[in-house]
Chain A
Amino acid sequence: MEKAKRLDDKARPKRPLQAWFDVRQDRLGTWAFALNRLTGIGLTVYLFLHLGVLSLLAQGPEAWDDFLELAHHPLYLMLDVILIFGILFHGLNGIRVALVGMGIGVRSQRTLFWVLMGIGLVLLVVSAWLVFTI
């Protein structure tokens, strides 16, 4: 019954895919929501790719070590940095969403968002440096 009510929710946008990315009002929450969805989709796709790549380990040392050569290419390292950006944004924004959803920091969530994004930026720079120097 509740499920039926939820699915028929009149407040649900008629064209939800458009609503996700409708940032015309330039609201911070809309941008955060859209980017959270995009990074979530990207990370899910990456998760499946990652599990697929790990299957090389079952094929023995040659298959894995061939992959390692590819993984050290600068283009691949750049993709690693984009991945880390996705992880940091989704993870840190997710912390805000979870806390506010539990009633913690509701009044200061804008500040919380920018503090977390500041932490994310520092971690991104440090991670990118590590990716290219390790």
Chain B
Amino acid sequence: MQELLSEQRTVQERASGPAGALWLVQAFSGLLLVLLLLLHMIAHHFVVEGGLRDYQEVVDYVSNPAIFTITIVFLIVVSIHALLGLRALVMDLGPKESTMRVVNWILVIIGVAMVIYGVWLEVTITRM
């Protein structure tokens, strides 16, 4: 039983301090992603003839305000989850505290850039 516990401690151990809070964000964003990704795969690929929409179909689809909003929420959640995952990888390498501060800022900047890019792209598409 211990063997599967190597990567996971209980939330009581994790929930103390910033590391615990980040683990909770990682876990809940992951659970939310399972739902959002399922919706994404079905709506964007599995119910579409040929598996992908052509250009005009994409424009029409994204122009729906509900789809626009869900897509941005999806991008925010997936960015948070992916960047926290990258942070965990860096943490495993045992970096100095000062290095970690720089890494944290770089990840925040990348995350903000991803969301800005996504919003820009969707707005651009809907205006075409």
The A-contacting residues of B in range 1-39, CB under 8 angstroms, are 1, 3-12, 14, 16-19, 23, 27-28, 30-31, 33-34, 37
Residue of B at shortest CB range from A44? B82
Q: What is the predominant secondary structure among interface residues of chain A facing chain B? A: helix
**A128, B7: Cα distance in complex, Å:** 30
The B-contacting residues of A in range 9-61, CB under 8 angstroms, are 12, 16-17, 20, 27-30, 32-33, 36-37, 40-41, 43-44, 47, 51, 54-55, 57-58, 60-61
Given A101-B9, A102-B11, check contact A58 B124 (CB 8 Å).
Answer: yes
Which residue of A3, A36, A55 is within 8 Å of B18 (Cβ)?
A3
Contact A29 B34 (CB under 8 A): no
The A-contacting residues of B in range 101-117, CB under 8 angstroms, are 114, 117
Interface size on A, residues (CB 8 A): 54
Residue of A at shortest CB range from B75? A51
The B-contacting residues of A in range 96-134, CB under 8 angstroms, are 97-98, 100-103, 106-107, 109-110, 113, 127, 130-131, 134
Interface size on B, residues (CB 8 A): 55
B115: shortest Cβ distance to chain A, in Å?
11
Contact A44 B19 (CB under 8 A): no
Contact B3 A91 (CB under 8 A): no
Contact B50 A44 (CB under 8 A): no
Inter-chain contacts of B37 with A (CB < 8 A): 87, 91
Contact B33 A17 (CB under 8 A): no
Which residue of B4, B34, B93 is within 8 Å of A16 (Cβ)?
B93
Decide if A78 is an interface residue (CB 8 Å cutoff). no
Q: Would you list the 9 A-B pairs with minimal beta carbon distance, nearest first?
A: A61-B55, A98-B27, A29-B4, A27-B3, A29-B3, A16-B92, A33-B7, A64-B55, A2-B17
- Can you offer 19 A-B residue contacts whose CB atoms are under 8 A? A3-B19, A27-B6, A37-B89, A43-B82, A58-B125, A61-B55, A64-B54, A68-B50, A71-B52, A72-B50, A94-B30, A97-B27, A98-B27, A100-B5, A101-B27, A102-B11, A106-B10, A109-B4, A130-B45
